[in-house]
């Protein structure tokens, strides 16, 4: 099983958006420049992300996209699911008709693996990724933020968590 470019790019773009959330709406052009993803491809991905309630568009000067909810409330599985990326390890797309119309010998093994992958990605939030040291270093290298923006995102997330507790 392999996550395709669509899923990888969607997660990358959403992480970029989360890192820059404190600056206000983020343009797809900015994400494209920082991440090396074509603008037309980002437009397709963000249309799906918007339809699935993960991002909202802001029109007008200074417009762009923003997260529809806190980064702690968006997990990687949400993003991958939103762009219709399959995390299915079976060859039959879960139908159970992999061998002459019947489940093959390893069908349930691959179903279990698919479920484990989905559960794993469901446990990783955008805010959790932002907290990782290697993400910080890459963001700084890309000239995305420096630690001040990432720290501001973390502080906002911590305040939100404290208020909801």
Res 146: pLDDT: 40
Res 45: pLDDT: 98
Paired tokens of 15: 């992480």
Other CB atoms closer than 10 Å to residue 141's CB: what's the count?
Answer: 8
Angle in degrees, CA 77, 132, 83, rounded to 5: 20
State how far the Cα of 61 lies from the Cα of 151, in Å rounded to an integer. Answer: 27
Q: pLDDT (tens digit, 0 to 9) for every residue of the chain, 165 residues total? A: 567 899 999 999 999 999 998 889 999 999 999 999 999 999 999 999 999 999 999 998 889 999 999 999 999 999 999 997 777 777 777 777 777 888 888 888 988 998 999 999 999 999 999 999 999 889 888 874 444 444 554 555 566 667 666
Say which DSSP state 65 is in. Answer: E
* Structural domain range at position 90: 5-164
User: Domains in the chain: how many in total?
Assistant: 1
Res 88: pLDDT: 74
Res 55: pLDDT: 98
Q: How many CA atoms lie within 13 A of 82 on its CB side?
A: 24
Paired tokens of 23: 């600056």
Res 147: pLDDT: 40
CATH number, domain with residue 140: 1.10.10.10
Q: How many CA atoms lie within 13 A of 2 on its CB side?
A: 2
């Amino acid at each position: 099983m392999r996550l395709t470019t669509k899923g990888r790019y969607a997660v990358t773009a959403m992480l970029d958006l989360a890192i820059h959330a404190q600056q206000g709406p983020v343009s797809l052009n900015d994400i494209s420049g920082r991440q090396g993803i074509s603008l037309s491809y980002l437009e397709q991905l963000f249309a799906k992300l918007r339809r699935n309630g993960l991002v909202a568009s802001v029109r007008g000067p200074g417009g762009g996209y923003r997260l529809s909810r806190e980064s702690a409330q968006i997990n990687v599985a949400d993003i991958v699911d939103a762009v219709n990326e399959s995390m299915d390890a079976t060859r039959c797309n879960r139908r159970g008709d992999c061998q002459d119309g019947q489940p093959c010998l390893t069908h349930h093994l691959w179903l279990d693996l698919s479920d484990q992958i989905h559960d794993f990605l469901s446990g990783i939030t955008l805010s959790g990724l932002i907290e990782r040291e290697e993400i910080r270093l890459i963001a700084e290298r890309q000239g995305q933020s420096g630690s001040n923006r990432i720290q501001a995102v973390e502080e906002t997330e911590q305040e939100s968590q404290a208020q909801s507790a």
